[in-house]
Structure formats: C-alpha cells, structure tokens
Amino acid sequence: MTNDVSPRVLNLAWLPGDGIGREVTEAALAAMRAVAEPAGVALAVAEYPIGGAAFDATGDPFPAVTRDGVLAADAVLLGAVGGPAWDTLPPERRPERGLLRLRAALGGFANLRPVAVPDALVERSPLRPEIVRGTDMLIVRELLGGVYFGEPSFVTGDAPEREGVSTMRYQEVEIRRVAEVAFQWAERRRGRVTSIDKANVLAVSRLWRDVVSEVQRTRYPHVDLEHRYVDSAAMDLVLRPTDFDVVLTGNLFGDILSDLAATLPGSLGVLPSASVGGGGPGLFEPIHGSAPSIAGKGIANPMGTILSGALLFDDVGLPELAAALRRGVGAALGQGIVPADLGGTATTDAVARAVIDHATA
Ligand code: NAD
Ligand code: IPM
Ligand code: MN
C-alpha cells in the first residue's frame, strides 16, 4: 500500500535555558505535539544548552554546539536565561550575553510581540475592563541594533571616578528593514503604525523618525503613520491601549514597553514573541525571563510559551496548528484554568492539560 501524504517532520531546536525556562518549554512542546501529531506533523526536537546552564556546562553561555544546532533547525524554541547565580560574571559570560549572541547568529531583526487581552482576562486585568477590552496590538521591536549592540560600550576608570558608556546607534538600513516589517503587518491588520522614539532629545531617534517617514511615504502611503515620543506613548499604552495597532520601536524602548504592555492582560506570563527576518530559522520565546523566585515550583504560566509555539507554527506554514493552540489557551482561560500570576491556582501542568484538551477537541 502506498501513502500519498508523506508525514512532515519539523526539526526544532529546543533551548530550555534557566529558571522556569524548562518548565514552560516542556509544557509548550507537549501542547505543540498534541496538535501536530494528529495533523501528520512530527516534531523532531533536539535540546541545546543556552544561558547560565550552558555556562555551567561548557564555560560559554552560547556554545558552538548550540550555534550549529540552531542554524540547522527549522525553528528555535527558547525558554529564558539568567538568574542570580550568574549575575556577577563578567559581561561576556553572562547568560543574557548568550541570548544576544543567539539572536545575532539567527539574524531575526524583527521581534514581534503581540499583546491582546482575551475576553476571559478582561475582568482580571489590574486595569479597568472598559480600558483593556478589545486590546489587540503588535509591538515590532528592532532586536539586533540600538544601544544593545552599539559600540563603544565600556566602564572605565577607578572608583569613585569611573565612567560608563553605552552607545545607541542605528544605521538607515537597520531602521528601514524593521519599518518594512511593521508596515507589512499593518497592511494585514488595521492599517496603522505608531512609531515610538525620543526624537525631541536623541539624534539617533531623529534619524529613526526620518527613515520611518520615508518608508511610509514612498512604499506604504495607504498605511497611517503616527510618530510618538516614548514617554507619553508609555502613558497611552496603559490609558488607551485600544488606540494602538502596530507599534514600531527600537530595541531598548521595545523591551521596556512590551513589559509595560503586559499589565494589560495582567501578567508577563501570557505574552509570546517571534524574532524573524533573518532568512534562516526563527526564534520563538515568551517575553518573560527566568522568574527565579518561582522556578522549580511547577506554577509558572506556560501560556506565553505555548502562544510562542503558535507563532512558530504560523512561521513554518502551519496556521491551523497555530489556531488550535490559540483556541486551546482561550478556552482554558474561559473555563477558569488560571495560573498564579493571573490570580488563580492552576499549575503549569494543569494549564498544559487544559490547553491540550481544548486544542484537540
Ligand atoms: P522575569 O520576567 O523573570 O520576572 C518578572 C516577574 O514576573 C517575576 O515576579 C516573575 O515571577 C513573574 N513571571 C515571569 N514569567 C512568569 C511566568 N511565566 N509565570 C508566572 N510568573 C512569571 O524578570 P526579572 O525578574 O527581571 O528577571 C529574572 C532573570 O531573567 C534575569 O536574570 C533577567 O536577565 C532574565 N531575563 C531573561 C529573559 C529572556 O531570557 N528572554 C527575559 C527577561 C529577563
Ligand atoms: C527580553 C529580555 C532580554 C532583552 C534580556 C534578557 C537580554 O529582557 O527578551 O525582553 O532585553 O531583550
Ligand atoms: Mn525584556
């Protein structure tokens, strides 16, 4: 007998990392497998070390074995890195540096951080229901430039006269390529981009504003573009979140504003991310960190990682599997399966089981 539909194998590099990273990625992989297998998609998962765990094992937070493994994969699923045990290491050995090297190696310069408030969370949000209801924005954070990577970067001199320098730097090409991504998403969404900078003070932001305007004028005149200063935009993200569709911003502002936006659904634990645009495998990770104080307790919220799995499935052309995971998360919340960060009592495993039940129903 022949079978005309050959099963598809998806090669995933799995980087659990530190703290709650293993717990949340195990839950996400279970949910991903549960929706993939019935659809004839096999997940071939290879684990690689990253962050503090990689430093402990190899002396390097981003060892060559991990670099080779991720570059050969179809997609990369990451938990989180960092923790107090590694906070006093020299900068190049820190877990966070390993993460930045991973991102640079993969080349995904556009970090997509969707922020939505599902109906089931409207009443649980720390903000008033009428403010958060209907929130649906996409933060497009530039990920490989700005002050995270700008040179020079150093601390010099002797206490009490030391000096610290970091450099916020963008080249036109870096701004243009991430602006393109933001405008393309706006075309598929509600046709509006809010670009956030500090052009009233920073030279680098004046260039940012200029290049984003030029991209809009020359290539996306049908998309609305608004420029905002980061301070007042931060206030409006919380006061008027439904005004935002696509939010385009640089590396540092995007890091800060996306954690701020987590107040809308009520926790960092529910927000996913995808880092794309590098031409190779994408990187999928929740926006939260390693949450050291709850690591190992089995209570971390895996929803942000499961929804990162949905972004992964979208990226590799399996949108039905992505939709199943999103349906599973929405239904689990709707049924009151709520973990501690959102004010409930559901464990990581209980959340994963509920998501799987609903996603495969
Ligand atoms: P964090 O995101 O780890 O935690 C902030 C708060 O949110 C804590 O109260 C934590 O318990 C809670 N939280 C986060 N994720 C949660 C989840 N899934 N479920 C339930 N509660 C959750 O930020 P932090 O405490 O500032 O940083 C801790 C470490 O993580 C640091 O070493 C930092 O550098 C690192 N970090 C890594 C990443 C990453 O790997 N992408 C992101 C942010 C921070
Ligand atoms: C994130 C994190 C990282 C960042 C750190 C850990 C390097 O905060 O993914 O948001 O700043 O990008
Ligand atoms: Mn962050």
Which CATH number goes with the domain that contains 227? 3.40.718.10
Say if residue 244 is in the same domain as residue 321: no
- According to the model, what pLDDT value does residue 5 have? 54
Say if residue 256 is in the same domain as residue 276: no
- According to the model, what pLDDT value does residue 233 have? 98
- According to the model, what pLDDT value does residue 7 have? 72
Tokens 């942000």, residue? 304
Phi, psi torsion values for 44, nearest 5 degrees: -100, 110
Say if residue 305 is in the same domain as residue 214: no
Task: Show which of 208, 230, 263 is a domain's final residue.
Answer: 263
- According to the model, what pLDDT value does residue 2 have? 44
Say if residue 253 is in the same domain as residue 297: no
| Catalytic-role residue among 170, 198, 245, 314 | 198
Task: Write out pLDDT tens, residues 105-139.
Answer: 999 999 999 999 999 999 999 999 999 999 999 99
Among the ranges given (4-13, 56-65, 158-167, 267-276), the one the predictor scored with the smallest mean pLDDT: 4-13
Helix (H, G, I), strand (E, B) or coil at 82: coil
Measured in angstroms, how far is the CA atom of residue 81 from the centroid of ligand 1? 9
User: For residue 253, is it within any domain?
Assistant: yes
Q: In the predicted model, is pLDDT for residue 154 greater than 70? A: yes
From residue 101, alpha-carbon distances to 87, 169, 178, 204 in Å are 17, 18, 19, 23
3-state helix, strand, coil in the chain (%, to 5): 50, 20, 30
Task: Show which of 209, 237, 263 is a domain's final residue.
Answer: 263
Q: What is the DSSP string of 266-302?
A: T-GGG-EEEEE-SSS-EEEEESS---GGGTTTT----
Q: Number of folded domains in the chain?
A: 2
Cβ(80) to ligand 2 under 6 A?
no
Task: Write out pLDDT tens, residues 203-236.
Answer: 999 999 999 999 999 999 999 999 999 999 999 9
Say if residue 2 is in the same domain as residue 55: yes
Cβ(301) to ligand 1 under 6 A?
yes
Rounded to an integer, the average pLDDT of 21-29 is 98
Say if residue 2 is in the same domain as residue 105: yes
Tokens 């000096």, residue? 163
Rounded to an integer, the average pLDDT of 257-284 is 97
End-to-end, the C-alpha distance of the chain in Å comes to 30
User: For residue 51, is it within any domain?
Assistant: yes
Task: Show which of 246, 263, 280 is a domain's final residue.
Answer: 263
| Catalytic-role residue among 18, 60, 74, 255 | 255
**Confidence band, pLDDT 50/70/90 cuts, at residue 11:** very high
- According to the model, what pLDDT value does residue 6 have? 60
Rounded to an integer, the average pLDDT of 256-268 is 98
User: For residue 307, is it within any domain?
Assistant: yes
**Confidence band, pLDDT 50/70/90 cuts, at residue 268:** very high
Number of H helices, E strands in the chain: 13, 12
Say if residue 69 is in the same domain as residue 187: no
Please state, in angstroms and rounded to a whole number, the distance separating the CA atoms of residues 127 and 263.
8
Domain interval for residue 188 = 136-263
In Å, the largest CA–CA distance within the chain is 79
User: For residue 120, is it within any domain?
Assistant: no
Task: Write out pLDDT tens, residues 337-349.
Answer: 999 999 999 999 9
What is the H or E stretch that residue 9 is in? Answer: strand 8-17
Rounded to an integer, the average pLDDT of 150-158 is 98
Cβ(46)–Cβ(75) under 8 Å?
Answer: no
- According to the model, what pLDDT value does residue 1 have? 43
User: For residue 125, is it within any domain?
Assistant: no
Burial of residue 170 (CB within 10 Å: 0-12, 13-18, 19+) is buried
Q: Is 87 a catalytic residue?
A: no
Task: Write out pLDDT tens, residues 80-95.
Answer: 999 999 999 999 999 9
Work out the angle between the directed axes of helices 319-334 and 303-315 (0-180°, nearest 10).
160
User: For residue 188, is it within any domain?
Assistant: yes
Minimal-distance CA residue to ligand 1 atom 26: 289
- According to the model, what pLDDT value does residue 223 have? 98
User: What stretches of 64-183 adopt beta strand conformation (E)?
Assistant: 75-80, 110-116, 136-142, 154-156, 163-165
User: For residue 123, is it within any domain?
Assistant: no
